[in-house]
């Protein structure tokens, strides 16, 4: 008797799968919202807002992404464990990106110093192609070499300090001198 | 704990006794609910790995853009925003039909499910078709990653270089070689013709697919048991037609742009680039670095396209199973899981589109 009831309940259990079913209206509405947001992001990119540009487009993309994740992927109605798993993947991806970006500018000054030390050919190619005469180009070539002789002498002195302050100074120094050179020629 | 273990074994024995063990329920699961929940957790874990996998590529992008923003400004003008936006909408629509298909599967509407899945497959193929047009165009303009890249205004710079003649011999030689190779086919018109010519091979493939699927459908008429083969042929046919549609609508769009406004900024390198180049000449060392943008572009969109192809294979598998009537109101896990994967691919494109195409 009790066995019978048990098997009945068992049959009902196995043959069902309770999930949240999203209505068609919601699906179509989300799709339309996504299309509108796409249009907005394309239009917004036409206005030049400088550094805000990336932030705006990423914000819109994030709104779109959360619409997809929560409605299309049912995460809003999903189990907490699945929510947690996805949430932490996003958190760790963000953490990863932040760490990379923190590190990537750490060697900027060294790179700048390196490019000032020996100007790579792709930097040389541009100004020479632009400048019709070869003589000023030779003068600018000579000038950085003189500067770089000064730069290593400076470097050991403020080794402890972050070198950010000294580089703009050398930049400022170079430009007037080169102008002087070209004027005198 | 103990009692739970005994009841499961009891039930197991019970179902074997009755001789109608549900073939859709794996032996190690108690109920369809449990099977579904387990699978869902599994697919979410897989999606987590996908997110972390792509975050590496996004890291590559973020570092490179933060170090050389001017390269992105310069190089993204070669990407056609309209095609990118159209592709975004196509992919969003495929996401809608996929979500709708999941809903149909949950409600047990197998015909609706089939329609939705085929539509999703077709949209994926259209996406790939547009992408193949973009890739082919880039290849003909030599906007390729790494060593294959040739600066679009290289011949211009080379002309200056031969006049000024202040460079190292190697650079001049390289520039001259570039000029020589570019000169013959430089006109945008001829490049477009070449692109069309390359894409015409796709039409040949389409005819091959049509013939083969015709054979498969003929076999189906002779022998109704060949359902699987015929369905696979149908999926391939839908994919081929979709790709053709995508490629040719982008060709049509390109032609329209030609006819209407001859100086269309996004497309016509010949007219616009020297002007843009002249504007940026002082600050951007593009010829060496611009190629890295195309490395980023081809790497990210390429990996995304591979995911699209994988999703298309998975959707075709779902279509075959749907034709065989595998899915019911309590067994639709596979549809849901492929749907989740498909939405993730869509999600990645949602981020890729503004990052690559919309740089101002």
Structure confidence by residue, pLDDT tens digits, B135-149: 888 888 777 777 667
Token code pair at residue A3: 């066995």
Chain B residue with CA closest to A4: the answer is B14
List the domains of chain B with CATH numbers. 30-151+188-357 (1.20.120.80)
Token code pair at residue A70: 């929560």
Q: Measured between alpha carbons, how far is B219 from B212 in angstroms, rounded to an integer?
A: 11
The alpha-carbon gap from A184 to the nearest alpha carbon of chain B, in Å, equals 21
The alpha-carbon gap from B77 to the nearest alpha carbon of chain A, in Å, equals 12
Mean pLDDT of B95-120: 94
Please list every residue in chain A whose beta carbon sits closer than 8 Å to the beta carbon of residue B166. 128, 134, 137
The alpha-carbon gap from A29 to the nearest alpha carbon of chain B, in Å, equals 10
Contact yes or no for B98 and A61 at CB 8 A = no
Confidence of residue A177 (pLDDT cuts 50, 70, 90): very low
**In this predicted model, which residue has the larger pLDDT, B319 or B261?**
B319
Please list every residue in chain B whose beta carbon sits closer than 8 Å to the beta carbon of residue A129. 157, 160-161, 164
Q: Does this complex have an ipTM over 0.90?
A: no
User: Which of A143-152, B119-128, B232-241, B254-263 bottoms out in mean pLDDT, i.e. has the lowest?
Assistant: A143-152
Mean pLDDT of B229-254: 90
Chain A residue with CA closest to B105: the answer is A21
pLDDT at A155 over 70: no
Please list every residue in chain B whose beta carbon sits closer than 8 Å to the beta carbon of residue A14. 22, 25, 30-32, 330
**Burial per residue of B48-83, b for 16 or more beta-carbon CB atoms within 10 angstroms, e otherwise:** bebbeebbebbbbbbbbbeebeebbbbbbbbbbbbb
| Residue B93 CB coordination number (10 Å) | 20
> Considering chain B, what percentage of its residues have pLDDT values greater than 70?
73
pLDDT value of position A13? 58
pLDDT at B264 over 50: no
| Residue A82 CB coordination number (10 Å) | 21
Mean pLDDT of A47-55: 78
**In this predicted model, which residue has the larger pLDDT, B144 or B267?**
B144
Q: Apex CA B346: angle with CA B345 and CA B352, to 5°?
A: 90
pLDDT value of position B55? 94
pLDDT at B274 over 60: no
Q: Phi, psi at residue B164, to the nearest 5°?
A: -75, -45
Structure confidence by residue, pLDDT tens digits, B163-206: 444 444 444 445 444 444 444 444 555 777 777 777 888 888 88
Of the candidates A47, A90, A126, which has its C-beta nearest B51's C-beta? A90
- Find which of A44, A46, A61 to mutate to test the B interface (most B CBs within 10 Å of its CB): A61
**In this predicted model, which residue has the larger pLDDT, A185 or B219?**
B219
pLDDT value of position B154? 53
Of the candidates A42, A49, A104, which has its C-beta nearest B63's C-beta? A104
Contact yes or no for A129 and B157 at CB 8 A = yes
């Amino acid at each position: 008797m009790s066995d019978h009831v048990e098997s009945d309940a068992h049959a009902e259990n196995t043959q069902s799968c309770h999930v949240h079913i999203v209505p068609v209206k919601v699906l179509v509405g989300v799709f339309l919202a996504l299309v509108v947001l796409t249009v907005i992001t394309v239009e917004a990119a036409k206005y030049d807002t400088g550094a805000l540009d990336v932030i705006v487009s990423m914000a819109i993309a994030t709104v779109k992404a959360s619409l997809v994740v929560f409605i299309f992927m049912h995460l809003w109605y999903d189990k907490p464990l699945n929510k947690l798993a996805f949430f932490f993947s996003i958190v760790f991806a963000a953490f990863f990106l932040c760490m990379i970006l923190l590190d990537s500018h750490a060697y900027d000054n060294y790179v700048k110093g390196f490019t000032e030390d020996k100007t790579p050919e792709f930097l040389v190619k541009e100004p020479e192609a632009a400048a019709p005469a070869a003589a000023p180009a030779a003068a600018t070539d000579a000038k950085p070499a003189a500067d770089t002789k000064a730069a290593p002498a400076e470097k050991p002195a403020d080794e402890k300090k972050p070198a950010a302050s000294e580089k703009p100074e050398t930049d400022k120094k170079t430009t007037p001198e080169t102008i002087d050179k070209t004027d005198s020629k | 704990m103990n009692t739970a273990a005994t009841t499961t074994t009891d039930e197991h024995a019970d179902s074997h006794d009755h001789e109608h063990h549900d073939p859709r329920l794996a032996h190690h699961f108690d109920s369809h609910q449990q099977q579904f929940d387990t699978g869902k957790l599994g697919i979410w874990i897989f999606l987590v790995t996908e997110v972390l996998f792509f975050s590496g590529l996004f890291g590559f992008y973020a570092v490179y853009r933060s170090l050389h923003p001017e390269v992105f400004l310069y190089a993204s003008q070669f990407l056609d925003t309209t095609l990118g936006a159209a592709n975004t909408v196509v992919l969003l629509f495929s996401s809608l039909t996929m979500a709708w298909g999941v809903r149909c599967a949950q409600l047990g509407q197998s015909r609706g499910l089939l329609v939705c899945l085929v539509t999703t497959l077709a949209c994926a193929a259209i996406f790939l078709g547009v992408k193949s047009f973009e890739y082919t165009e880039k290849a003909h303009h030599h906007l390729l990653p790494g060593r294959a890249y040739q600066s679009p205004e290289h011949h211009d710079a080379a002309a200056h270089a031969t006049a000024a003649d202040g460079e190292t011999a190697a650079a001049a030689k390289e520039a001259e070689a570039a000029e020589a190779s570019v000169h013959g086919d430089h006109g945008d018109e001829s490049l477009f013709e070449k692109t069309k010519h390359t894409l015409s091979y796709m039409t040949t493939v389409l005819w091959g697919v049509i013939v083969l699927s015709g054979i498969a459908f003929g076999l189906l008429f002779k022998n109704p048991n060949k359902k699987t083969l015929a369905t696979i042929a149908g999926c391939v046919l839908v994919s081929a037609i979709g790709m053709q549609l995508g490629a040719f609508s982008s060709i049509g769009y390109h032609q329209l742009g030609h006819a209407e406004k001859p100086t269309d900024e996004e497309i016509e390198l010949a007219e616009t680039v020297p002007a843009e180049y002249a504007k940026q000449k002082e600050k951007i060392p593009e010829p060496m670095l611009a190629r890295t943008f195309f490395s980023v572009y081809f790497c990210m969109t390429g990996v995304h396209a591979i995911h699209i192809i994988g999703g298309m294979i998975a959707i075709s598998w779902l279509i075959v199973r749907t034709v065989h009537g595998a899915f019911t109101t309590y067994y639709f896990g596979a549809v849901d899981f492929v749907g989740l994967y498909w939405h993730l691919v869509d999600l990645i494109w949602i981020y890729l589109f503004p990052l690559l195409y919309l740089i101002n």
